Amino acid sequence: MSTFKDADEVYAYIGKAMEACVTDPKFVEATKDGSLVVLITQTDPAASILVDFPGQKVLTGDAAASAPSTVQLRMSSDNANRFWQGKLNFTLAMAQRKVKLEGKRTTALGLLPLTGPIFDAYKAILAEAGRDDLLID
Amino acid sequence: MTDTITEGEFDKVFAKAEELSEYFREIGPKYDTENTFAYPSIEAFKKSGLGALPVPKQYGGLGGDLLATSKVVSELSKGDSAITLAYNMHYIMVGMTMGLMSETQNKYWLGRVADGDIMFGPFSEQRAGFSGLADMKAIPQEGGGWKLYGKKVWGTLCEAADIITTNATITDADGNLPENFEDRVNAESFFIGEFKVDENGQGDGISIVKTWDALGMHATGTQTIVFDGYYVPEDGFICEWRSGAFGVLEWASLMFASIYLGMQSRILEESRAVLSKKTLGAVFGATVAADVKVSGVGHIIDGIGDMASRYELSRRVLYRTCTEVTEGYDDNWPMELRFPYIGLAKTFIADNVMHMSRHAMSMVGGSSFKKGAIFERLYRDSAASMFQPLNADQSRTFIGEHLLAPEELAD
């Protein structure tokens, strides 16, 4: 059984973390001249989040799935919960096909230096919402 | 000053490589026969300054990219494949570490390389070679840092090195490896440190055990390195090993390819030298004639043409791969296939160098089979191309698995 009840929960926590980050001045400065638009497609429950870093906006649901992106990241919602807390070994997950990353490599690699602050934002949002069941030690 | 080596600067570097290659060619046979590391090569290599080639200019190096380094490695290998395979370890590890170390680490360690220090990196262990997660343990110490315990079996260049890089799995304080597979992957780490041993190969918590005795590549000095409490301070931690390594393994794969391209060139050179002059006189065999010059025999003509074609194709594959990686064309490959696609240059060249070394012996005749003949030496040394990662079988597995994998995630 998934740790998330439905897609709305995914958007309420992971989506919210992304919204907090795309307008953070550090992210804006780091991504404003790039083309990093990440479509996160999750399964179980199915959810889509588009994180447009240069455009400083986040879309969810059908609007996200139909918008153009430069990097596509696919994983289960459970693994997304682990990943956005820095608890998923990405290289291993890719080798085991638990995560699929597509798009131009150099563009995708632009996401990596940004993940640390996203992990912090996501964990803070979960803690604030009292979702200890989603937090991983 | 440009960031990377200029054409004029490279011409000077290549002239030094030609000179060093001649020296390797001169001393190589002695160390192949004696089955030991070519000790005089250390001073010559350091004096040449070629060790600083891949070090970025900002750290005092020459700013050579993959292609520049590849050309130098091939030129040296043309002189002597085994001695060059030893120093190739230095180029591989400098290339890999500089993409993974912090700015502070790069300044210190690459600065030392720019000043002449030599780097090596033993990673493979007996159990499963390079693929095996490190059984070597890095046990955390109370005052910080780790002590390393274990054994690495492919310590190429250890007898010349000043700096060691290696991988080990960080344990708990009692030395227990993580039980969970993912935790174990996470704990496998990449380290760098001093490598100081005495004339008997004994150092503080580290030693060289002379185990190297192989079919070919005798002068590489590929000994066993034993870690028995070798201390690495905290600033010797580079990164998590597997995640880091997969991003920079082009330095390993393409430099190995460069070794075997140099060997292809040498095989062609030696074959031409013999076959252009050889005369059989009166023969009654596959050819029947009163006076046969080998250079006029059809299969010899074709054979040399085939060798030259294989060399030229290999050169183009290697140079183009270096260029595509340096210029970012690899962005267009599926991410999972980046490493095996880079590795195709090496596997292609490996197949060709082995074909050429065998074919050369067949064309030259029985004299090439005798000990001391350059052809039997090249035949033995070329066989090493089957092993360095990725080999042809591994590359095909990576590629095939990716292409046959279902779209669904494997959860």
* Residue B7, pLDDT above cutoff 80: yes
Picking from B186, B243, B409, the nearest residue to A98 by CB comes out as: B409
Tell me which of B244 and B364 has the higher pLDDT: B364
| CB B140, CB B181: distance < 8 Å | no
pLDDT of residue A110: 82
Tokens of B141: 């110490």
Whether B335 and A101 lie within 8 Å, measured CB to CB: yes
Q: For B90-122, what is each residue's pLDDT tens digit?
A: 999 999 999 999 999 999 999 999 999 999 999
pLDDT, residue B286, reads 83
Number of CB pairs, chain A paired with chain B, less than 8 A apart: 46
**Confidence (pTM):** 0.94
User: Could you report how far apart the first and last alpha carbons of chain A are, in Å?
Assistant: 20
Nearest C-alpha in A relative to B244: A91
* φ/ψ of residue B9, rounded to 5: -65, -40
Are B325 and B271 part of one and the same domain?
A: yes
Q: pLDDT grade, residue B81 (50/70/90)?
A: very high
Cα distance from A128 to chain B (closest Cα, Å)?
28
Domains: count for chain A: 1
Instruction: Tell which of B236, B271, B294 closes a domain.
Output: B236
Are B242 and A91 in contact (CB < 8 Å)?
A: yes
B1: pLDDT confidence band, cut at 50, 70 and 90? low
Give the one of A89, A97, A108 whose C-beta lies nearest to B409's C-beta. Answer: A97
The residues, ordered by sequence, that sit 6+ positions from A86 with a Cβ below 8 Å of its Cβ are A115, A116, A119
Give the pLDDT confidence score for residue B410 in this predicted structure: 87
In a domain, B142, yes or no: yes
Q: Which chain B residues contact residue A42 at CB under 8 A?
A: none
Question: Quick one: angle between helices B392-404 and B338-364, nearest 10?
Answer: 140
Question: Residue B330: which of A74, A96, A105 has the nearest Cβ?
Answer: A105
Identify whether residues B63 and B149 lie together within a single domain.
yes
Looking at residues A20-43, what average pLDDT do you find? Answer: 92
Domain boundary among B192, B211, B236: B236
At residue B211, does pLDDT exceed 80?
yes
DSSP three-state, residue B96: helix
Report ipTM for this prediction.
0.84
B282, pLDDT greater than 80: yes
What backbone torsions phi and psi does residue B209 show, to the nearest 5 degrees? Answer: -115, 120
> Across residues B206-226, what is the average pLDDT?
97
B44 and B172 in one domain?
Answer: yes
Q: Is A134 part of a structural domain of the chain? A: no
Q: Which residue of B has its CA nearest to A99?
A: B409
What is the tally of structural domains in chain B? 2
Q: What dihedral do alpha carbons B323, B328, B331, B334 form, nearest 10°? A: 30
How far apart (Å, rounded) are the C-alpha atoms in residues B119 and B109? 9
Among partner residues A76, A89, A92, which is closest to B409 by beta-carbon distance? A76
Q: Is the pLDDT of residue A105 over 90?
A: no
Query: Domain of B165?
Result: 1-236
